[in-house]
Structures are given as structure tokens and as C-alpha cells.
Chains A and B, each alone.
Chain A
Amino acid sequence: TQLLEQSPQFLSIQEGENLTVYCNSSSVFSSLQWYRQEPGEGPVLLVTVVTGGEVKKLKRLTFQFGDARKDSSLHITAAQTGDTGLYLCAGPLANAGGTSYGKLTFGQGTILTVHP
């Protein structure tokens, strides 16, 4: 069972459309990260959200952390072909007291394809 569930698993859209990717958990996370992975490369960090209810913007990408810190979303406005890739959410594993284990758990990823 995945600690972080991403949806949808696949997304195929036309250039110019908007989309949202979701990352949900039954556990509380101190922070959540979003990574993007392009073919032939490793994942690269896009953003980290830390505070419940936080919204961060990175050009056309908007990231939100849920108020209860159990979920996050990534919204892309006017998608471009360059947005194509695998999007991964990840959160640090920690004990009940909040002490980090020094590891991340990852969602299963969302494969986004933007067609011209």
C-alpha cells in the first residue's frame, strides 16, 4: 500500500489546456515535495510545501498543501509540450514525535503528455 496516492496515473491533454494532479495520504506530513522527471533523466525537485494551506507558484505551475497537511495538488495552467514528463510527489518519513528517518516516500507518479 502506497503511503502517498497520486491521481490520475496518466494524463493526456492538448497544449493550452489546464490540469490538476493530486497527491493524497491518510498520514500527516511535515512537508511535501513535487519532482518532475523527463525521459532519460532523474527526478528534479520543483517545489517543497511546508505550511498547511500554503500555495506556491512557479510560473504556470501552482502547488497547494492541504490544511491538514495530508494532501497536495499541482495545477498547471495553459499546459505546454515542455511540461510533458512524470510528476512525483514525495514526503519525509518520520516517527510520531516528528523525528526524521532521513528518507522520503514517493507516490506512484503521474505521467503527463501534452500534445501540440
Chain B
Amino acid sequence: DADVTQTPRNRITKTGKRIMLECSQTKGHDRMYWYRQDPGLGLRLIYYSFDVKDINKGEISDGYSVSRQAQAKFSLSLESAIPNQTALYFCATSDFRDSRNTQYFGPGTRLTVL
């Protein structure tokens, strides 16, 4: 079984709808991250969490919110989706003991906002 799972894998929604992307991990890592990937822009950090009570904004948090329900679960919400949020979204984890912050990624969610 995969260590980091994401649901759904694909989602098509309409402008203005609220959607939630979910991430679960079995790696036992405290740190979890949400990234967005767009062609030519690499991976950009949306939000990150170092433990259940810690939530931090990344470089592109506007229009997004997150919830850390448990050490193993970190969800990303789009309160009112807009077309420029169409992208590939990745969840990742890392071990706080790793000073290099090596990231372990889920398989991604492809989101299309019409």
C-alpha cells in the first residue's frame, strides 16, 4: 500500500463550488504539506503543518484553507473554486528529524474548475 494517499485522484467542478481534497499518510511523519503544480512553475507551497496544532501559510495560500484532523490526515479546501485553480495538487510528508526536509509525495489530484 502507498505511504501517502490522496483522494480524489481526479475532480471536475464548477466555478463557485466548495471542494475538499484529502490526504492520508502511514509514514508516521509529523510534517505535512500541500503543493500546487502548474506547467513551467514547478511545485509551489500552499500550506504546511508541522503537527496537529500547527498550520502555516505557504507562498500561495489565498483562496485555500486546510485542516489537520490528525497526525495522519491533512485536507485542503477550496471555499469557492475558480478556473485559475485548475492544477495538479500534491500532498507530501517529511520527517522532522531530517534536516534536509526530504519530501514524500502522494500521487496527486488533478483538479479542473470549469
Contact = CB atoms under 8 A, between A and B. Distances in A.
A43 interface: yes
B29 to A, nearest CB: 11
Nearest to A104: B101
Interface residues of B, number: 26
Interface in A69-103: 88, 90, 92, 100, 102-103
B105 A43 contact: yes
A30 B101 CA distance: 11
> Most A CB atoms within 10 A — which of B41, B42, B94?
B42
B100 interface: yes
Interface of A: 2, 6, 9, 30-31, 33, 35, 40-45, 48, 50, 88, 90, 92, 100, 102-104, 106-109
B99 interface: yes
A116 B29 CA distance: 40
Interface in B92-108: 92, 94, 96, 99-108
Given A102-B48, A102-B94, A102-B96, A43 B40 contact: no
A88 B107 contact: no
B5 to A, nearest CB: 11
Contact of B106 (A42, A100, A103, A104): A42
A108 B101 contact: no
Interface of B: 4, 31, 33, 40-45, 48, 50, 58, 90, 92, 94, 96, 99-108
Nearest to B31: A102
B107 A106 contact: no
A44 B50 CA distance: 21
A49 B42 CA distance: 20
Q: Which 5 A-B pairs have the closest CB atoms?
A: A42-B105, A108-B42, A106-B42, A106-B43, A92-B101
Contacts of A43: 43, 90, 103, 105
Contacts of A102: 31, 48, 50, 94, 96, 101
